[in-house]
Amino acid sequence: MDEPLKQFQNKKIAVVGEGLEGKSSAEFFKKQGAMVEIRDKNSHFAKASRSKQGENYLKNLEKFDLIVRSPGVKLSDIIIHNSEFILPKVTSQTKLFFDLCPAPIIGVTGTKGKGTTSSLIYEMLKKDDRDVYLGGNIGVPPFEFLSKINGGSWVVLELSSFQLQDLTKSPASTRNGSSMRGWPHIAVVLMITCEHLDYHKNVYEYIEAKRNIVKHQTESDFAIINRDYIASNESDIHTKAKVYFVSREREIEEGCFARNGKIILRLHSNDIQIINTKELLLRGEHNLENVCAAVMAGYLAGVPTEKIKEVLKEFKGLEHRLELVDKINDVEYYNDSFSTTPETAIAAIQAFKNPEILVLGGSSKNSDFTELGQIIGSKDNIKAIIGIGVEWSSIKEGIKNHESRIMVIEGAEDMKTIVTAASKLAVAGDIVLLSPACASFGMFQNYKDRGNQFKEEVKKLKIRG
């Protein structure tokens, strides 16, 4: 057993929260010889004697040597059911991974764009033949690959406010005199807007959680900060790291920005043109922010600019997030099934100037579609809308004043009918965009099922010729 891992041997550890990360934590500590008890309000974990569920799952945690909080469990709830004296025992997989990881970490946070930016950075490092691992909020708990990492590896972590909220610098977070261990060597702060107020007590707590990613960096670290949003921009005062800014709205003195259809890296007053934005497969003006952040991170990690450019020309985006499925008869089909809110649908719709055929609607999330209706009404390239699900009537109400110039198709009850209808309307140069602005339940199991069915039906179009 590695020396740092011996600290968990024979310890009594409570893993609070039984989700994907919680299960990973429990298995990890068992392998280190710890006595593990899983605590979850609604647990379906293995029916072992060392698991405790129900309304009292947060009580009597004082008896444990270590309390490992999963991201979905609020720190404040743990304190309420115990006391503030329990705080020194509370940790998380993310926090422990920072202390145990022998390799430099690139951490990425923000309200939107975390997954895309993290994946781009990961692909850039892979293109440069690095031993690199991608995890965190993107779906792979970092304990899953900790044993594979060595000093020559790189780790890219997507980090949510839930994971960052209670992070503090460990007094033992150095290895062989290196400051790379214990905190992100490269921290990326993307756009920060108001979100997750059902979890955080207010917007200030949410913003402070995000800023935790830079607070304990040293002078030998790097912080990459989005210049276009107030909460993000003002994060620079919270770090000792060397700061680089990114923007899609303005030129930057030191950093990366979009200007006149080009992505420019500016360092020491020298401009390096990375790529023409027309060469990007990743669509949407909002994604230019993510591209700039990834370029800056890749460059700071030592990836040659030619390899950075190669990745940008190949990267199609994350699955179900403005994902280019195929181009058939000069019609592009995009799967944005991850779009379950009006805001994400607006961003997708605004990503294109070509004539658009939209697929909108689904099950209810009690959303307000007023702004979505206004945006659709203000764009003269919306050719047709295929309205589906129970929420279509609410969306339709928001665009009724503009319906006369937009063809509307209703009544489609399965994906085959939806895609067939879209293909019959589409001509060369058109965009078919599945960006529903709603949840998927009713017609589909979840957003992944909805997106996968869309992609399958588009494939059949190609087969049919």
pLDDT 10s digits, 78-113: 988 898 889 899 999 999 999 999 999 999 998 888
Chosen domain end from 251, 284, 314: 314
pLDDT digits (tens, 9 = 90+) for 391-418: 999 999 888 765 567 999 999 999 999 9
| 52, 124: one domain | no
pLDDT value at residue 163? 85
Which pLDDT tens digit goes with each residue over 32-41?
Answer: 999 999 999 8
**Residue 164 to residue 184: CA distance in whole angstroms:** 12
Same domain, 85 and 98: no
In the sheet that holds 12-16, the strands lie side by side as 51-53, 35-40, 12-16, 66-69, 90-91
Single out the residue in 261, 279, 314 at which a domain terminates. 314
* Same domain, yes or no: 309 and 336: no
> What 8-state DSSP symbol labels residue 60?
-
In this structure, the answer to whether residues 161 and 244 fall within a common structural domain is yes
pLDDT, position 175: 39
CA distances from 163 to 83, 230, 410 (A): 21, 22, 42
One domain, residues 227 and 272: yes
| 289 and 388 share one domain | no
| Same domain, residue pair 377 and 305 | no
Q: Is 170's pLDDT higher than 50?
A: no
Q: Which range has the worst mean pLDDT, 45-49, 83-87, 278-282, 351-355?
A: 45-49
**Contact in structure between 164 and 190 (CB atoms under 8 Å):** no
* Residue 176 scores a pLDDT above 50: no
Predicted confidence band of residue 74 (pLDDT cuts 50, 70, 90): confident
Residues 265 and 275 sit within 8 Å (Cβ to Cβ)? no
11/140 same-domain check: no
Read off the pLDDT band of 174 (50, 70, 90).
Answer: very low
CATH number at residue 196: 3.40.1190.10
- Kindly state the average pLDDT of the residues 370-389: 93
Q: What is the pLDDT of residue 402?
A: 56
Q: What is the C-alpha to C-alpha distance for residues 17 and 52, in angstroms, rounded to an integer?
A: 11
Domain boundary pick from 48, 66, 91: 91
CA-based end-to-end distance of the chain: 58
Question: What pLDDT band is residue 193 in, cutting at 50, 70 and 90?
Answer: confident
Q: Tell me, yes or no, whether 29 and 173 share the same domain.
A: no
CATH number (domain holding residue 388)? 3.90.190.20
Same domain, 182 and 223: yes
Domain that holds residue 399: 323-464
CATH number at residue 53: 3.40.50.720
Q: Are residues 187 and 303 in the same domain?
A: yes
Residues 81 and 102 in one domain: no
pLDDT digits (tens, 9 = 90+) for 237-272: 778 899 999 999 999 999 999 999 999 999 999 999
Number of folded domains in the chain?
Answer: 3
- Among residues 269, 265, 259, 330, which one has the least CA distance to residue 293? 265
